[in-house]
Structure 1
Amino acid sequence: MRFLIILLILVLPLSCFASERCKNLAQEVRTAHYQYFGIDYPYWYSVGQLEQESSCRNVISRDGVGSEGPAQVTYRVWAPALQKQGITEVKTTKNNLRAQAYINKVAHNENPHKKLWITYQIYNGGGLVLKEINKAGEVDWAAAYAKCSRKVVHFKDGSTEKACDINYYYSKHVFKFGETYRTGSDSATYSFW
C-alpha cells in the first residue's frame, strides 16, 4: 500500500500543481488585462496562456532567447515598448503579467479579425497566422492550419516539431486551459473562435 501511495505521488500530473499556481495568478491577470482591454475581456484565456507558457511558474526559459516569468516575456525584445508602459523589468510577477497583457493587446491590435485564437497565435509566433488566413480565404483555424508551411524546429535533445504544429496547437491549448479558469461568459466583443 505504501508503494502504491508513493507511486501515485510520483506520477501525479504536474498540471494539478500548475492549476493551483495559475489560480493564484488569476486576479493579477484579470487586473492587467482589464487595464488594456476593458472589463469585458475574458481574462481566463490569458490564465490558460500562462499554463501553456510556463505552467504558471516564474522561470527563465531554456529557449536561448531569454524568455522569463509566467508569461515567458523576452524583455530585450520588448523593452522599448514596455518601458513606454512604465514596465522597466519583467522579473516580478506583477510586471510580467502587465507585460503579458500589453503584448496581448499589441497582438490583438495587429489582428484585423479580432478572434482571440489569432491574437494568442500572434503572441506566440508573430503575424504569420495572418498570411495563412489570407491564403485560406477564410477566418477558420483548420483552413488556416491547412495552409501553414513553416520550418521544422530542431531541439537540442535531437527531437523535432513542425513550427505550424507549435503555433496552431498553442491556441488550442490556451483555449482548453482557459476553460479551467472561466468565471463568466465570453463577450460579443471578444470571441475566441
Structure 2
Amino acid sequence: MQFLKIASSLVLSVGLLAASAAVAAEPENTMILKLKDGDVTIALRPDLAPKHVEQIKTLVRGGEYDNVAFHRVIEGFMAQTGDVQYGDMTDGYSSQRAGTGGSSLGNIEAEFSKETFARGTVGMARAQDPNSANSQFFIMFAPGAFLDGQYTIVGNVESGMELVDNIKKGQPQSGAVTDPDRIISARIAADAN
C-alpha cells in the first residue's frame, strides 16, 4: 500500500511538472524586461494574439522599449508602459504626452480571447477604439475581470512579479507618475545577450 501511495505521488508530481512546462514559453516567445531591481520574465502568447506578439517582438528587437517609462501606475490595478514615441526617458520624453503615443508600426486590430485578466497578466493598452493598440502594454497587479474580452491579452509574467510590485506608483485616480521608473532594457530570450 505504501508503494502505491509513493507511486501515485510520483505520477502526480511528474504530471504537474509536465503541465507547468507546457505553460512556459519557448525562448522565441519569452520577453525579458530589465527593471531597476532585476529581470521580469514574460511568456508571450502568440496563441492568443499573434499580431500583437509579433509587433511587441519587433519593437523589442529594435530596442524601442529600452528606457521607456512606466508612465501610468495604479496601486492594486496595473503598471502601464510602452509609449515608445513619448515615453523614452533618454530621447524625447514628455511627462504630459507619455501615454498618448505609439510606434511607427501602426495600430493592430483587437485580438480578444476568453482568457481572464489575473495578477501578472500582460495586456495591450488602447484608446476608445478597440483596434487602436500599438506599442503600449500593462501588467496587472491584481485580477481585473472587468477587462476580460475588452483588451487583448499578450502574455503572463513567469518570474519577477515581485519586481513589478516595486514599480513606483502614481497618483491614486489617474496613475500619473512623477519621475517614473522605466524599462532599462528589453530582449527576447532567443536572441544573443
TM-score by length of 2: 0.31
Ranked by relative contact order (alpha carbons within 8 Å, sequence separation 6 or more), the top structure is 2
Q: Which has the higher strand share?
A: 2
Q: Which has the higher helix share?
A: 1
